[in-house]
Structure formats: structure tokens, C-alpha cells
Structure 1
Amino acid sequence: MRYSPPLRDGHQIKLIEGGQAYFESLVSALEQARSQVHMETYIFDFHGAALMVAEALERAALRGVRVWLVVDGVGTPRLPAEWRERFERAGVAWHIYSPLGTLGLLIPSRWRRLHRKLCVIDGHLAFCGGINILDDWYDPHHGALPEPRFDFAVCARGALVQQMQETMSQLWWRIQGVRHVRQQKFPEAFSSFRAAGLHLPWSHEAGGAAGAHVVAKAGLLLRDNVLHRTQIEKAYLRAIGAARHEIVIANAYFLPGRRLRKALIHAAQRGVRVRLLLQGRYEYFMQYHATRPVYGVLLAAGVEIHEYEASFLHAKVAVVDPDHDRPWATVGSSNLDPLSLLLAREANVVVADKVFARQLHQRLSRAIDEQSSPVVADTYTQRPWPQRLRDRMAFGLMRLALFLSGNRY
């Protein structure tokens, strides 16, 4: 299997930082939609700035646009009653992907989540990234935040939009088919599963989102549990292996497997500057503590680790050699941890363009220099024993979860 699909020229790619800018670009495009909107997200929250998106979807449906929305059953276990009624009155069609049911996450097969954040408008304009439909200044578990979440998305035109459209349509019709089977509507189920394998025509072109675009070579990377099990991981491995000067990775939940750790260590040992920007604020026990046991071997190899402290880091982005002949950058939903790389549905856009890579590199470098603290090897090895115990417990629990899921990492 190839490490990644071939990248194609002629894409228009715009880098978007933060939820507020993302929502403004997304809403601007939704207001110009004429045929269909198809959106997938892990979290769809109905507070603060996120309401802009819900209201824009409602308005689009009311003027006759076909609107399909899929949310994840863990990230968004239910829609508020008010918005269920509003969506249904407007004609917004929506599904919850893999609802948890009675036993919830006690069943390992339900750890396979829909984690990608995608939107396609009229078949010509697409959004992809790590940003949920969730106000940047608010967290459902932690309340108001001191600074906005650090995250990125892209707005894109070009060949990858068609690929994104097809994978979203496939999932939509498969969900429809499963629902019909459970309802014992077998002719309808057959029609839905058949539609999952068909291309759906889209005939109108959406207006562009505001802001300058970079004309670039780009492609879409997917991770699922059928045909694209390792596509994103292998793309990272290839880019790290080809790096000659610099690698910068910003990742919210970072627990790389053996191959990724070795690739980063080998890059640092051959003289590549490797910088990691990771979560510095406590969010979830497992993700926060399980990461830290891998710091030691990376620091020993010369990898620089910085922890983002201004707010929650939610980015899943990377840049390789932005100032040289073969720049590579990715923006998407995939963390470098076993949940993303082994279980979840994920989507990343890869861009091979110097201008785009430099834009992302500049923003990450500024966050490292101004909003983060370096992890010092001596301080790391001397951290208090209760912290080391929590780190080892979380790491062990993660390994146990992988064993129960039947995956090796």
C-alpha cells in the first residue's frame, strides 16, 4: 500500500486559525450554499459562537438546500431538544454516529469513533481540520477558558473536495442502511447500502470563503477501519523520514507508537531539528499523563519538547522543511495516539507548498516561543514520584485498552 495518495496541483488552500475565524469562514460559505451541505463533526455544541453554525445550517435548509449533518455519539451523545425540533422543522437531516447504548464504552468495538471534522458545500468548497463546532472560549468540562483553544483548519478547493464528498456520502448512506436494518426495513436498507457505493452528482458552485488562498499541491488523507487503516500514520512516517532540516509537530494527544518514536529519534540523530508542541494544561487524565513516559527517550535523542500553556492545545498539525525544496505540511483531525491512529475515523489535508508551510511554521514557532514552556531533561527525570506514578498508571491503562481492543501499536 502507498504511504499516501498522490498529491495534485491546482488546489486553493487557506489556513484558518481558531474557532472564531473558522466559524466566520464556514458561515460565509453556508450562506452562499445553493445545492447541498454535508457536515461531519465530533462535537457539535450549541453555546456561544458555535450557535452561528447551527443557525446557518438552519437557514440553508429553510431556503431549500439539502443539509446532512453527522455527529459522533461520544462527542455529541444527543442534540438539545430545541435544536432537534428546529432542525426537523427546517429540514436538516442528521444522524448520531454509533450511539453508545446501555453499556457505553465498556464494549471495545464502540471505541471506534467519528473524529473527523469535515464540511463540503455544493461539491466545490471544503473545510477540514481539528476544530469542533465548539466555542473557542468554552469547554464543556472546564467552563470558561482564559484564552481561546489553539487549533487549525483549512478551506479548500480542488480535486480533494471530490474525494471528501465521496467518503462523507458513503458514511451517510451506510448509517442510513444500518438504521433501516434495525427497523427491519430491508428494501430501504438495500437501497441505502447500494447508494453508499455510488457517486452522487453535485451541480452548483459555492461562493468562496473570505481571505486569500494559496494555490498548492495537496491531497486528502483518511483513516478508517476498512481501506485506510494506516494511511495517516504512514504519511507522517514518510515525511519524517524524508526531512533534512526541520520538523515541527503540534499535537493535542501525543502518544506515538514504536515506529513513529523511532522515526523522530532517527531524524534528530541525523541532525534534523525536531520540535514538538504538546498539551501543557490538564484536560483528561489518560491523555495528559500517558504521554509523559515517552518524553525521556525523545529528549535523550535531542528532540525538543514544548508544552503549550496559554489554553488548551487542540491542534493536529505538522510542518517539515518549510524553507527548502520539499516542504510538507498537514492539518487535520488525527492525533498521534492509538485512539486516532488505530480506531477512529480521521481526515487530514496534506499540502506540499512553501508559502502554506511557512504560514503554518510561523504560527507554530510563535506559539512555541511566546506561549509555551520547554521540557528540560533534568527537570523531567526529577519530577515528583506521585506524578511519575500517575504517568505510569495512565500509560499502563492505555496499553491495557489496546490489548482489549485487539490492536498492536
Structure 2
Amino acid sequence: MIAEFLPGNRLTLLNSGNEYFPALLAALESARHEIFLESYIFADDAIGHEVANALCRAAQRGVEVNVTVDGFGARNFAADFLPRFADAGVRALFYRRELSTFRLKRHRLRRLHRKLVVVDAKVAFVGGINIVDDNNAPEHMRPRFDYAVQIEGPVLQQVHRAVRRMWEIVSWANFRRRFRLHADAAPCIEIAGSQHAAFLIRDNIRHRNDILNAYIDAIDAAESEILIANAYFLPGVRFGRALYAAAKRGVRISILLQGKTDHPLLRYATQALYHTALKTGIRIFEYERSFMHAKVAVIDGEWATVGSSNIDPFSLLLAKEANVVAKDRRFAGELRASLKEAIANGAREMLPDDLSRQPWHSRLLRWLSYGVVRAMVGIAGYGHRHWHAEEQTHPVRKG
């Protein structure tokens, strides 16, 4: 589906947990009617308990609180939070709860990776930040670097519709814990600002390629600059061709990736692509100050996206994801400035000489990692057939 941009929004960029959690907690404390919260991770740490306490207080004052967590990413949730939530009246559900050993099957890899909060259909939060403390990481990787957006205005209708729909689907699938929502009256949302924005999701029904298509449309239209920061970057054929075509027509492309990672296999697989990218003129930077978890981009200083979707086959073909896309120079400029600062003060540029000095066994490790990741996607049922069928369905535009 084509992104539906709505005017009249106010978007507030939130850099990492230091900015995100105070804004989120303030919104939760002000809730009067309903709260929807979706998170891949809900950690047993200081932030996790602070958010949980705010949700319990809201439920105790009569707010309908609906929490959905991923059954794999938040597998600690049942022991750490569910009893307290049940006592307070917080309604909580698992998306595909893991009750046995994780096996590499397609349905096991379909995770709820969205990070969404909607409060009273008046304010929403969209981004890549889980309910987890920025410092809940190995010491050398602290603090976590990520982004979210606080949204007010008409685009909230799209977010509100998505969280209600997810709640209904997960509730129906949980036979023992079916929670009904109040009647779905379309929220009356007023103009809050002057920014144009759209809300996009990725699922396996009507929105398989919405986020991917939005990226590629923006890349194909790029005239001067593409700036991408993505934690797990392993693009498919369409995305790669679009980037290379943009580079060949003179667009400046910079990609900020992880220098410190929690998934070495994916990082090694990504590094296998560096040589070709650098030959095309794409600049690659690895963020080394701390653990980068961002999934954002800015194109031509006007188009910008912040969300949960990585640019890899797991996010773009399997997981449920959510991104907000803005067409606004002020918002895009703020995100661009933040990314430029991160590159200047926390990243190292990868140069052709760095790659040529790598020993043969290091290069072999990276290509083997790339092959393993692609094989994993194939085993899950999304290998060559799906990756390239999607390419034929949506051919790359030339020029």
C-alpha cells in the first residue's frame, strides 16, 4: 500500500532512553481512558519496573491498560511482571509465546518487533526503543543509542487503528485470556502542528512490503543525499540495486552501522558487503561509542523515517514492524544533525585499505556468515523464491 501522508502533526524526536522514557512516563501518568503498549522486550530492570509501576497506577485509577509483548523477546515477562499486572488490573498478552526450545521454523521467526504506545488516542510513541534501560548491556556497550518519535495529530489515527487491531488478533489467539475492547469509536483527533507524516506497518497480510517500498521509493527519488543508520543491515536485491543506482547518479550515501554488536553473525554477514558498497562510492561508518540500535534514515533533508524495522530479511520479510515516515524539513533536519554528530564523534569510517588488510580467514568468515544468514532465511521458507519473487513483483525503476 502507498503511504498515506496526513498534514497537521507535531513530531518530537526522542534520542535514546534519556529522552524517551521521561516523555513516555509523563504520558502514562496523564492517561485517563486507555493505554496500548507493544514491546519486543520488557526487561526486568529499573526502567522496566518504572514503566510497569506507571501502568499499574493507571489501571488502578480506572484506565483500560492493554500490554502486548513478544513471547520470545520478553520471555521473562510471565515471571517478572504478569502477576503484578493481573493484581493491578493491567491486561497483558503474549504474541506467540515460546513454551519450548526455539526451532528454526517460519512461524517461530515471525516476531512482534514493534515498539508502540498510544495513550488516550491523544499521543503516541513509535520507534526502536524497547522497555529496557539504556545501561542494561555489557559495560563496554553502554549506553544504548536509539530513537523514537512522540506523535500528536491526525496520523495518530493510523497508529491507534494498528494497536487496536493487534490487540484483537492476539487476544483472539489466546484462548485462555481473551480480553475485549470497548466499541471502536474513531478518535476525534485535532490538528496539532504543521508536519506531514504517515504510519507504516509490516505484516504478512495486506502490508508485506509497505516499509520496504517506502524506503525504495524515497531512494529512487533521492537527488542529493541518503543517510541511513540501521542496527542490522543486510538488504535484499531491490534495496541494494536502488542504493547502487542512486550512488551512480551522484547521490551522496552514508550508512551508519554497528561497531559493537549483540549478534556477531549478522555483523559479519553485513561486512561481507562492504567491498562492493565502497567500490560504488557508498560511505560506511561503524558506531563504536556504544551499542547502536537505531533504525532511521534521512533523504534529501526532507524525507525521514524512525521505527522498529531493520533493513534485513528478518525485519522486511518476517517480523511485525512499525515505522513513522515524515516529509518535513525541520524534523528531517533535526534527525540528520543528530546522526551527523554520532558519525563525527562516535564512529569510524571503513575504508578500502581497511578491507584489503584483512587476512584471508577473516574475509572467509564474513562470507561464510553471509551464507549462513541467507540459508537461515531459506530454511524458514523465505529463501531464493520469496526474496526474488518480491523483486519480480516490484521491479527496480531505472534512472
**Given the two structures, how large is their TM-score scaled by the length of structure 2?**
0.91
Aligned residue among 62, 70, 79 for 1:72: 70
Q: Quote the offset at 1:159 in angstroms.
A: 2.1
- Structure 2 counterpart SS, 1:34: coil
Name the structure 1 match of 2:42: 44
Name the structure 2 match of 1:157: 152
Distance 1:41 1:217 in 2: 26
Gaps of 5+ in 2: 388-399
Distance 2:189 2:212 in 1: 33
Runs of 4+, deviation exceeding 4 Å: 202-206
Q: How many residues in Structure 1 have an aligned counterpart in Structure 2?
A: 383
**Is the CA contact 1:118–1:129 (under 8 Å) kept in the aligned structure 2?**
yes
Distance 2:213 2:342 in 1: 27
Aligned residue among 326, 331, 334 for 1:359: 334
**Is the CA contact 1:123–1:205 (under 8 Å) kept in the aligned structure 2?**
yes
CA offsets 1:127-173 (integer angstroms, 9 cap, x no match)? 0000011100112xxx3355421100000012221111112111211
Amino acid at match of 1:275: S
Question: Is 2:179 aligned against 1:179?
Answer: no
Amino acid at match of 2:119: I
Report matched runs for 1:280-291 at 5 Å.
Answer: 280-291=259-270
Distance 1:147 1:363 in 2: 18
Distance 1:173 1:53 in 2: 23
Distance 1:49 1:215 in 2: 33
**Is the CA contact 1:35–1:204 (under 8 Å) kept in the aligned structure 2?**
no
Distance 1:115 1:222 in 2: 11
CA offsets 1:85-129 (integer angstroms, 9 cap, x no match)? 211111011011101232423333210000010000001210000
Aligned residue among 381, 385, 388 for 1:406: 381
Question: Is 2:218 aligned against 1:239?
Answer: yes
**Is the CA contact 1:44–1:134 (under 8 Å) kept in the aligned structure 2?**
yes
Amino acid at match of 1:160: V
Aligned residue among 256, 263, 273 for 2:235: 256
**Is the CA contact 2:114–2:320 (under 8 Å) kept in the aligned structure 1?**
yes
**Is the CA contact 1:114–1:346 (under 8 Å) kept in the aligned structure 2?**
yes
Name the structure 1 match of 2:361: 386
Q: Identify which range, 25-34 or 387-396, moves more after superposition.
A: 387-396
Question: Is 2:139 aligned against 1:144?
Answer: yes
- Structure 2 counterpart SS, 1:344: coil
Name the structure 2 match of 1:169: 164
Between the aligned residues of both structures, percent identity stands at: 41
Q: Quote the offset at 1:205 in angstroms.
A: 8.4
- Structure 1 counterpart SS, 2:8: strand
- Structure 2 counterpart SS, 1:277: strand
What RMSD over aligned residues (CA atoms) do the two structures have, in Å?
2.1
Amino acid at match of 1:224: D
Report matched runs for 1:6-405 at 5 Å.
Answer: 6-79=4-77, 81=79, 83-139=81-137, 143-145=138-140, 147-180=142-175, 200-201=184-185, 215-322=194-301, 327-405=302-380
**Is the CA contact 1:138–1:145 (under 8 Å) kept in the aligned structure 2?**
no
CA offsets 1:216-272 (integer angstroms, 9 cap, x no match)? 000101100111000000100010111101110000000011111111111111111
**Is the CA contact 1:122–1:204 (under 8 Å) kept in the aligned structure 2?**
no
Distance 1:396 1:203 in 2: 48
Amino acid at match of 1:133: I
**Is the CA contact 1:9–1:218 (under 8 Å) kept in the aligned structure 2?**
yes
Distance 2:12 2:104 in 1: 40
Amino acid at match of 1:159: P
Q: Quote the offset at 1:40 in angstroms.
A: 0.2
Distance 1:312 1:368 in 2: 13
Q: Quote the offset at 1:204 in angstroms.
A: 8.9
